[in-house]
Amino acid sequence: MRCLFVLCWGVLAAASVAASAPDLSEKEQTAARKLYVAKCAKCHRFYEPTNYTEPNWQAWMGKMSRKSKLKPEQENLLTRFLNAYRAGQVSAPR
């Protein structure tokens, strides 16, 4: 039960951050792309975020953030960037 609560809270928190996040600056986009290459692409190909439901995507982001040992500020930047990508606001991080 506690695990379900934590998962739901994480999804809601990520959704509220995404909804309230300001547009990414060019500098933030560049940093997020570099972070993606350093922490994500070194282990796997680009998984299309738009192919996942929002809860499913957020669950994967949580798992991968822990696995790749992202610092909180890195997780926030990468989440904002990928959410902007999901919304069609930035190009893919490839």
Q: Are 92 and 85 in contact (CB under 8 A)?
A: yes
What average pLDDT does the structure give for the chain? 80
Say whether 41 sits in a helix, a strand or coil: coil
User: pLDDT of 25-71, one tens digit each?
Assistant: 999 999 999 999 899 888 888 888 889 999 999 999 999 999 999 99
At 32, list the tokens: 């997020």
| For the chain, domain boundaries | 2-86
What does the pLDDT read at residue 47?
Answer: 86
What does the pLDDT read at residue 91?
Answer: 86
